[in-house]
Amino acid sequence: MNGAEAFIQTLKDCGVDVCFANPGTSEMQLVAAVDRTHGMRAVLGLFEGVVTGAADGYGRMADKPAVTLLHLGPGLGNGLANLHNARRAGSPVINMVGDHATYHRHHDAPLTSDVVGVAQPMSDWVRVSRSERDLAQAGAEAFAMAQSYPGKIATVVVPADHAWTEGSAAVAAPACSAPALAPDAALAAAAEALKSGEGPKALFLGGRALREDALVQAGRIAAATGARLIAETFAARHQRGAGRVAVEKLPYFGEQAQAYLAEFKTLVFCGTEPPVSFFAYPGKPSWLSPDGATIVRLASLREDALAALTGVAAALDAPAEAAPIQDATSFPAEPGKLTTASIGAVLNELLPEGAIVSDESATSGGAAYGMCAGAAKHDWLQLTGGSIGQGLPLAVGAAVACPDRKVIALHGDGGAMYTNQALWTMAREQLDVTTVIFNNGSYAILNIELMRVGVQNPGPKALSMLDLRNPAINWTQLSEGMGVPAVRVETTEEFRAALADALAHKGPRLIEAML
């Protein structure tokens, strides 16, 4: 077999069975190898940000990597923003990036660039294939690296001649390392602080600590110690809903987050670091935890959160029953003109058991997030790296990973424009995704941030740079132009009917919610 076939077969043998692809000429042998490898699904994206964001969503839901197929340095460049988000999420992703044949590079043909240089800023690991035989080995190493708990971004650069040269063979799947464990001393310190530390106390959770199994252990600790459970602001995957352990949420804006945390004397962090302000603002602090509080780092994002929480619960001799458990909730949805609150109320009511919510709703979605806490059990995925344009691709990947679960993408209009091409992939693959576009005709967050960074009396030119109403974007037309049936709604009643209809049918739909 040629190098490309050996590489793809190796990945398949490792358990990788989805390729999100946007190929070009230099990747044709990789396309052919995907074609020939039984059980390797190919999903085409019409822009690389769709491809990498889909790999992130897939990784978050499957807990194993998909492989992306990208076209040289510029194609990888187009995928960097969502690789940044994936890296911040701790998602497992393997990138295969084509490059010119080794003997062609020095000619500096038009598409030549420093592919490794483009890869490094958003990859945890970069490896250039050294030969057609080495390419398969690089694939096995990439898999092991991508699977490093909870997941890493592993990028393999594939010179075209290594892909097309015969005489290679697949290599065996590597042994993947077990998750790193938090040090015993950290467990002991956390248990001691939560048991005997000054109150109020909080157990602050992020990364894999927001999965259901870890939350049960966190809930046992809360039951034993009275510590409050708080989730990081942007969670890669938070398993929540009625009957699961209830977790509070740290607000986004720094001053609100600081006020939220001010009362705590003891803070224990698991799966994440102590929170900092998303941006810097003149005269405002970056560090949000209260001065003088006892801070204990139980486990980082890269240490086993479940094991750490289980160990602390055992050390505390915590009760078997977790608490607090989230009650089912319902909210009245104000009829008439649609609002973010009425969207939240209807979502809470209609969200199906097992739903996956890809949330990049920015200013519009806070209500929905809060009001769905007591909805049927679901997974809530957020924008981990702050680079907008993640939500639609993430929904693509989640739907590929979990074909039997309904995916709901909640998206601001500004962010959705970056990777609107994801709608086409939803239509092509007939993915079971319902997209809700919050159409407020604005980068609404920036209207707030403009004041917060101290800009006084912004003029018309400044405000125009935050405004999406001139011209207004018609998301119903965009969606139907890419093959996804769409409807525009203006009232709570119309939204409820549209959402109910979308949830009652398999396949992609878009609801343009006019705010």
CB of 71 vs a second copy, minimal distance in Å: 8
Closer residue to a second copy in complex, CB, 133/452: 452
**369 alpha-carbon distance from chain centroid:** 15
Strand-pairing partners, residue 204, are 230, 269
Contacting residue, 196, 314, 477, 500, with a second copy by CB under 8 A: 477
Contacting residue, 337, 481, 505, 506, with a second copy by CB under 8 A: 481
What is the residue type of 227? A
Closer residue to a second copy in complex, CB, 143/424: 424
Cis peptide bond N-terminal to 179, omega within 30? no
Contacting residue, 92, 206, 385, 397, with a second copy by CB under 8 A: 385
Cα–Cα distance, 98 to 68 (Å, whole number) = 11
Cα–Cα distance, 203 to 188 (Å, whole number) = 14
Q: Does 31 bind a second copy (CB under 8 A)?
A: yes
> What character string, x for contact with a second copy (CB under 8 A) and - otherwise, covers 49-68?
x-------------------
Span from 181-189, 196-204, 366-374, 420-428 in contact with a second copy (CB under 8 A): 420-428
Q: Does 295 bind a second copy (CB under 8 A)?
A: no
Structure tokens that stand for 259 in this block: 């006020």
CB atoms within 10 A of CB 403: 12
Residues 6 or more apart in contact with residue 193 via CB below 8 angstroms: 201, 266, 268, 294, 296
Span from 110-118, 259-267, 402-410, 493-501 in contact with a second copy (CB under 8 A): 110-118
CB of 365 vs a second copy, minimal distance in Å: 17
CB of 122 vs a second copy, minimal distance in Å: 7
Contacting residue, 198, 465, 505, 506, with a second copy by CB under 8 A: 465
Cα–Cα distance, 341 to 366 (Å, whole number) = 9
Q: Does 256 bind a second copy (CB under 8 A)?
A: no
Contact assessment for residue 96 and residue 30, using Cβ atoms and an 8 Å cutoff: yes
Task: Determine the size of the site formed for a second copy (CB under 8 A).
Answer: 100
Contacting residue, 60, 64, 88, 411, with a second copy by CB under 8 A: 88
CB of 462 vs a second copy, minimal distance in Å: 4
Residues 6 or more apart in contact with residue 235 via CB below 8 angstroms: 206, 210, 380, 381, 382, 384
Q: Does 280 bind a second copy (CB under 8 A)?
A: yes
CB of 83 vs a second copy, minimal distance in Å: 8
Contacting residue, 39, 282, 292, 332, with a second copy by CB under 8 A: 282
Cα–Cα distance, 191 to 173 (Å, whole number) = 39
Structure tokens that stand for 110 in this block: 């038009």
Q: Does 29 bind a second copy (CB under 8 A)?
A: yes
Handedness of CA 469, 471, 474, 480 (dihedral sign): negative
By three-state DSSP, how is residue 347 classified?
Answer: helix
Closer residue to a second copy in complex, CB, 271/385: 385
Pairing type for strands 248-249 and 266-270 reads unpaired
